[in-house]
């Protein structure tokens, strides 16, 4: 077995972080935090050399925006909707670059409490 790439290790941390946020939401708490992840996504060495470039960067940027917008949510109802947007941002990048973990990532979604499906 080859050792995991730098990016794979970043991803494991990103996944754990998202699981922690999900656990907070499920227990009725809105995480208060700020997270800078964009640089780590675009600067870590991936397993496959074709992972990178402007399209990958824009997915990384969309993910950073989704994280910011989630962590700034004014209340837990909006937070749950924003968290699901964040999971969609994981899935968009994965769709193009690494479809394998998508079923696992989808399980992160939380049940939303806003009738409108969020903001
Ligand atoms: C900007 C693109 C991008 C975003 C956003 C992204 N991923 Fe990834 N992810 C990747 C790529 C590319 C890999 C393959 C990494 C490698 O092997 O070098 C990966 C790998 C993984 C892996 C497998 C790691 C391993 O052990 O090999 C998991 C799990 C994962 N991502 C979960 C997530 C979750 C959960 C999110 C959102 C919270 C997320 N990813 C957001 C691109 C992304």
Whether the Cβ atoms of residue 92 and residue 67 lie closer than 8 Å to each other: no
Dump pLDDT digits (tens) for 71-106.
999 999 999 999 999 999 999 999 999 999 999 999
115 C-alpha vs ligand 1 centroid, how far in Å?
A: 31
List CB contacts of 41: < 8 A, sequence separation 6 or more. 7, 10, 60, 63, 64
Ligand 1 pocket check for 10: Cβ under 6 Å? no
pLDDT score for 114: 73
Which residue's CA is minimally distant from atom 4 of ligand 1?
90
pLDDT score for 91: 98
pLDDT score for 81: 97
Calpha distance 15→19 (Å, rounded): 6
Asked if pLDDT for residue 118 goes beyond 50, the answer is: no
Ligand 1 pocket check for 71: Cβ under 6 Å? no
- Report the nearest atom of ligand 1 relative to the CA of 42: 1
Dump pLDDT digits (tens) for 36-73.
999 999 999 999 999 999 999 999 999 999 999 999 99
In this structure, which long-range contacts are made by residues 49-52, counting pairs with CB atoms below 8 Å and at least 24 apart in sequence?
A: 51/7, 51/97, 51/98
């Amino acid at each position: 077995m080859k050792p995991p790439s730098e990016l794979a290790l970043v991803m494991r941390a990103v996944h754990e972080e998202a699981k922690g946020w999900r656990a907070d939401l499920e227990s009725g708490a809105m995480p208060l935090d700020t997270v800078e992840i964009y640089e780590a996504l675009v600067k870590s060495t991936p397993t496959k050399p074709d992972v990178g470039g402007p399209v990958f960067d824009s997915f990384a940027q969309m993910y950073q925006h989704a994280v910011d917008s989630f962590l700034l949510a004014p209340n837990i109802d909006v937070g749950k909707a924003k968290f699901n947007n964040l999971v969609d941002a994981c899935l968009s990048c994965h769709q193009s670059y690494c479809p394998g973990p998508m079923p696992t990532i989808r399980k992160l979604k939380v049940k939303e409490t806003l009738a409108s499906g969020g903001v």
